[in-house]
Amino acid sequence: MTDRTPINAPGDRESSNFIRDIIDEDIQTGRFGGRVHTRFPPEPNGYLHIGHAKAIWVSFGIATDYGGLYNLRFDDTNPVKEDVEYVDSIREDIRWLGFDWGEREFYASDYFDRLYEYAVQLIKMGRAYVCDLSADEVREYRGTLTESGRDSPYRNRSVEENLDLFERMRAGEFEDGSRTLRAKIDMASPNIAMRDPVLYRILNVPHHRTGDRWCIYPMYDFTHCLSDSIEGITHSICTLEFENNRPLYDWVLDELGVYHPQQIEFARLNLNYTVMSKRMLLQLVQEGYVSGWDDPRMPTISGLRRRGYTPESIRDFCDRIGVAKANSTVDVALLEHCIRDDLNRRAPRRMAVLHPLKVIIDNYPDDQVEYMEAVNNPEDPSMGTRQVPFSKVLYIEQDDFMEDPPKKFFRLAPGREVRLRYAYFIRCVDVVKDKDTGEVVELHCTYDPETRGGSAPDGRKVRGTLHWVSAAHAITADVRMYDRLFDRENPLDVEEGESFKASLNPNSLEILTECRLEPSLAGTERGSRYQFERQGYFCVDSRDGTPESPVFNLTVALRDSWAKIQQSQ
Ligand code: ATP
Ligand code: MG
């Protein structure tokens, strides 16, 4: 199964969206010379999550659709929290999603010299000043939504003094936090972002790319708009929380008189039963609630990949949720529906017994082995068939047998006949139990040799069809059954004083050992995906296990609550 198919970009949808409308208009009026050039600007302070996938799909997908360009830009202005591990993972994840930014990989830190020059320019224009207020004081002077702020006592320093102090900030003469460079805008602005925002702070911390060249670092807001400008971005697509910052970006670019991209905001993706803040995800990793950023329960792209999600299913998901101007929460069942839909068509079917119960076919010859032809995927005949060995001793699923079945149980029970998929009808003739516990440990059955292939010549019917494996041929594997990481729909909806971790689902991982799988699953490649018949979709773990004894991760169970919701509407 290949991960590279054509990208279903946002523009493939018949319906348009408001971002496309803006771009269409800009193209019509020739605003950017007909160019479309977008960017995705992650901060390398964590792994990408499904929300980022949406942002990537929007920015890169739209550029692709218009035959434009897109940049990957690392917004690396906070050396305290950033790391090359994150840079590497971000690259890998975006590539895996199916986007290729070619040579256009940039770093805000590449612009530190130019940004410094821009800051000096603002100082010379009397539009920025060095302020000696502490962080707490800056906050206090800033005012509130209902109260205007107060001017800093340092606001009216002369240009010469500001230039001198800023130069000395850069030279490392001052302590962290002792001074900042601030824009001189308007402390009475109704928009708090415009109340003399900090442009530069002192941080005596080495940077993962610039080493110890700098001890002052530009703030995100200053860096971001200028990076977009430097790169010639036409449409700077971002999430709604940056709407308030747009006037600040406009101010910086207009004051400096530089090229001015159009910022467009859309609603960020929220999913129920999960959190999407990198700070919280980091906490789960650091405190060992999950095995790492790529734990298959994480909403990270690497977690979803390890869980068995395909890039196509994630792009399909983004396509279905679309872009909007209003925040909302998407049902995670839709994401699960998308991967089911994709794997239903692409994943080969296999038989796997997760909770084995031994079955002995009393009237089957001791040493005989027959090879049964099994269909690899009924949705796609081109995937062909395979041969599955059948012999005297088999395993079936424990819960496919009940000694004293209720009315609607159509599977195996004493005296009852069922079909073994692709093989024979069998009838249960005896039940062996553990003397002490009373647990059923073994079934004895007989088979009807006339029913090979799954039907009886005399036309008699059975109501249950079970999957099975041959004991002598099966491989043994661990299977990890995953459930939602949080059992509360909104994990942040906790009691006062409780952490979001109180919403964690204590049963989000169950490891089944001693599962028995049909032998064709031996030696399969890491990451390959299958449907285990009647159970769900599973993939070979990318880290653990060996070819002889692989570890499988549950991607998603077969039951589709989203399809049910859709049907009932
Ligand atoms: P967090 O708040 O979890 O730290 P972030 O938004 O600060 O995430 P960035 O690395 O700055 O993380 O994100 C890069 C881009 O991804 C930003 O432009 C941001 O708007 C976008 N993005 C982040 N989260 C989402 C989301 N849930 N839905 C859509 N876009 C998102
Ligand atoms: Mg951010």
Q: Is the CB of 52 under 6 A from ligand 1?
A: yes
Q: What percent of the chain has pLDDT over 90?
A: 93
Measuring from atom 7 of ligand 1, which residue has the nearest CA?
A: 43
**Number of other CB atoms surrounding residue 279 within 10 Å:** 10
**CA 336 to centroid of chain Cα atoms:** 12
Q: Is the CB of 238 under 6 A from ligand 1?
A: yes
In this structure, are residues 503 and 487 in contact, taking their beta carbons and an 8 Å threshold?
Answer: yes
CA 162 / ligand 2 centre spacing (Å): 30
Task: Report residue 51's pLDDT band, with 50, 70 and 90 as the boundaries.
Answer: very high
Measuring from atom 14 of ligand 1, which residue has the nearest CA?
A: 42
pLDDT tens per residue across span 424-458: 999 999 999 999 999 999 999 999 999 998 999 99
Residue 237, amino acid: I
Helix axes of 84-97 and 50-65: crossing angle, nearest 10 degrees: 50
d(CA 137, CA 493): 33
Same fold, 113-218 and 352-474: no
d(CA 348, CA 331): 27
At 568 the pLDDT is 61
Which residues, at least 6 apart from 171, have a Cβ–Cβ distance to it below 8 Å?
A: none
Could you report how far apart the first and last alpha carbons of the chain are, in Å? Answer: 34
**Could you tell me the CATH superfamily of domain 113-218?**
Glutamyl-tRNA Synthetase; Domain 3 (3.90.800.10)
Supply 126's token pair.
């009397």
Q: What is the mean pLDDT of residues 356-385?
A: 97
CA dihedral 62, 66, 72, 75 (to 10 degrees): -60
CA 45 / ligand 2 centre spacing (Å): 9
Give 268's DSSP letter: P
Residue with tokens 């001693």: 514
Q: What is the mean pLDDT of residues 96-113?
A: 97
Q: Is the CB of 280 under 6 A from ligand 1?
A: no
At 16 the pLDDT is 65
In DSSP terms, which residues pair with 319 in a beta bridge? none
Which residues, at least 6 apart from 340, have a Cβ–Cβ distance to it below 8 Å?
A: 537, 556, 558, 560
At 1 the pLDDT is 40
Please report which ligand is nearest the Cα atom of 242. Answer: 1
The yes-or-no verdict on residue 12 having pLDDT over 60 is: no
- In the chain, domain spans: 18-112+221-338, 113-218, 352-474
Measuring from atom 16 of ligand 1, which residue has the nearest CA?
A: 52
Q: Is the CB of 53 under 6 A from ligand 1?
A: no
Task: Report residue 549's pLDDT band, with 50, 70 and 90 as the boundaries.
Answer: confident
What per-residue string of b and e applies to 42-58 under the rule 16 or more CB within 10 Å gives b?
bbbbbbbbbbbbbbbbb
CA 43 / ligand 1 centre spacing (Å): 8
The yes-or-no verdict on residue 132 having pLDDT over 80 is: yes
Residues designated as active site: 43, 268, 278
pLDDT tens per residue across span 31-45: 999 999 999 999 999
For 563, phi then psi, to 5°, come to -60, -40
pLDDT tens per residue across span 164-193: 999 999 999 999 999 999 999 999 999 999
In this structure, are residues 562 and 332 in contact, taking their beta carbons and an 8 Å threshold?
Answer: no
Nearest one of 438, 503, 141, 486 to 332, comparing CA atoms: 486
**CA 397 to centroid of chain Cα atoms:** 32
At 564 the pLDDT is 64
Measuring from atom 29 of ligand 1, which residue has the nearest CA?
A: 268
pLDDT tens per residue across span 293-350: 999 999 999 999 999 999 999 999 999 999 999 888 999 999 999 999 999 999 999 9
Give 205's DSSP letter: -
**CA 150 to centroid of chain Cα atoms:** 44
Q: Which fold has domain 352-474?
A: Ribosomal Protein L25; Chain P (2.40.240)
Residue ranges of the alpha helices (H) in 287-435? 301-307, 311-321, 332-346
Radius of gyration of the chain (CA): 31
Q: How far is CA 449 from CA 351, 426, 483, in A?
A: 22, 9, 41
Residue 519, amino acid: P
At 566 the pLDDT is 64
Report helix, strand or coil for 424: coil
The yes-or-no verdict on residue 513 having pLDDT over 60 is: yes
Q: Is the CB of 44 under 6 A from ligand 1?
A: no
Work out the widest C-alpha separation in the chain, in whole angstroms.
103
Q: Which atom of ligand 1 is nearest to the CA of 48?
A: 10
**For ligand 1, mutation pick of 52, 264, 277, 325 (most atoms within 8 Å of CB):** 52
At 328 the pLDDT is 87
d(CA 516, CA 358): 11
Give 300's DSSP letter: B
Exposed / middle / buried, residue 450 (Cβ in 10 Å: 0-12, 13-18, 19+) = exposed
The yes-or-no verdict on residue 143 having pLDDT over 80 is: yes
Query: Whole-prediction pTM value?
Result: 0.93
CA 32 / ligand 1 centre spacing (Å): 26
Please report which ligand is nearest the Cα atom of 42. Answer: 1
Report helix, strand or coil for 71: strand
Residue ranges of the alpha helices (H) in 327-445? 332-346
Q: Is the CB of 51 under 6 A from ligand 1?
A: yes
d(CA 315, CA 297): 19
Q: Is the CB of 55 under 6 A from ligand 1?
A: yes
Long-range pairs of 302-307 with CB within 8 A, sequence gap ≥ 24: 302/47, 302/48, 302/89, 302/92, 302/93, 304/50, 305/93, 305/96, 305/527, 305/542, 306/539, 306/541, 306/542, 306/543, 306/553, 307/482, 307/539, 307/553, 307/555
Q: Is the CB of 276 under 6 A from ligand 1?
A: yes
The yes-or-no verdict on residue 7 having pLDDT over 90 is: no
Residues of the chain by 3-state class (helix, strand, coil), percent to 5: 30, 25, 45
CA 445 / ligand 1 centre spacing (Å): 58
At 547 the pLDDT is 86
Q: Which fold has domain 18-112+221-338?
A: Rossmann fold (3.40.50)
Q: What is the mean pLDDT of residues 533-562?
A: 92
Q: Is the CB of 210 under 6 A from ligand 1?
A: no
Q: Is the CB of 42 under 6 A from ligand 1?
A: yes
Q: Is the CB of 218 under 6 A from ligand 1?
A: no
**For ligand 1, mutation pick of 268, 272, 314, 317 (most atoms within 8 Å of CB):** 268
Task: Report residue 3's pLDDT band, with 50, 70 and 90 as the boundaries.
Answer: very low
At 559 the pLDDT is 82
CA 52 / ligand 1 centre spacing (Å): 6
CA 484 / ligand 1 centre spacing (Å): 22
Residue with tokens 């929460």: 329
**Number of other CB atoms surrounding residue 163 within 10 Å:** 15
Q: Is the CB of 277 under 6 A from ligand 1?
A: yes
Report helix, strand or coil for 568: coil
Measuring from atom 13 of ligand 1, which residue has the nearest CA?
A: 42
In this structure, are residues 545 and 477 in contact, taking their beta carbons and an 8 Å threshold?
Answer: yes
CA 145 / ligand 2 centre spacing (Å): 22
pLDDT tens per residue across span 238-269: 999 999 999 999 999 999 999 999 999 999 99
Q: What is the mean pLDDT of residues 280-292?
A: 97
